[in-house]
Amino acid sequence: MSEPAQPDVELRLRADLVNLPIVRGVAASVAMGADFTVDEISDLRLAVDEVCSQLIVLAAPAADLECRFTRTADGVEFHASTRSNDGRTPATDTFGWHVLRTLADEVTAGLGEGVRPPVHITVRKRRAAE
């Protein structure tokens, strides 16, 4: 049995829109390290921005946003989570969700358990086949 991949970069910051440039910058750096093309770097940055924006809207007051970037054999996985204010998952029928599905190869979302359950979104972006 193989061990799950360890994140290359982990961030924990206040779930606030003013912190989006930090996460976008880290996304670009991780994507460059994963040998993404310029277009793929842009797609990952935009996908990370959309994920974080959606989670920040759902976050409980004073909650943190936890982000993990993991380089995989064929690309990058980004996982973000925060404590939910009211136990809702991200709406999947919005324009933002459609854009997210277009930018990433895989997108999943979920909700944990508890009074202010963690809500999370994971995206996977693969490098183009050479």
The whole-number pLDDT of residue 128 equals 85
In a domain, 74, yes or no: yes
9's CB contacts (< 8 A; 6+ apart) are 26, 30, 67, 68, 69
In a domain, 25, yes or no: yes
Write down the residue that tokens 């390290």 correspond to: 33
The count of structural domains within the chain is 1
Task: Report the CATH number at residue 81.
Answer: 3.30.565.10
In a domain, 95, yes or no: yes
Residue 23: count other Cβ atoms within 10 Å of its Cβ. 22
Q: Is the pLDDT of residue 124 over 90?
A: yes
In a domain, 15, yes or no: yes
The whole-number pLDDT of residue 11 equals 96
Q: Is the pLDDT of residue 1 over 50?
A: no
Sign of CA pseudo-dihedral 65, 72, 48, 29: positive
Residue 115: count other Cβ atoms within 10 Å of its Cβ. 8
In a domain, 1, yes or no: no
Distance of alpha carbon 54 from alpha carbon 48, whole angstroms: 10
- The mean predicted confidence, pLDDT, of the chain is 92
- 56-109 per-position pLDDT tens digit: 999 999 999 999 999 999 999 999 999 999 888 999 999 999 999 999 999 999
Q: Is the pLDDT of residue 3 over 70?
A: no
Among residues 48, 12, 7, 44, which one has the least CA distance to residue 126? 44
The whole-number pLDDT of residue 40 equals 96
Region label for 75, one of left (φ > 0), alpha (ψ between -120 and 50) or beta (otherwise)? left
Q: Which domain holds residue 109?
A: 9-126
In a domain, 66, yes or no: yes
The whole-number pLDDT of residue 7 equals 74
In a domain, 37, yes or no: yes
In a domain, 2, yes or no: no
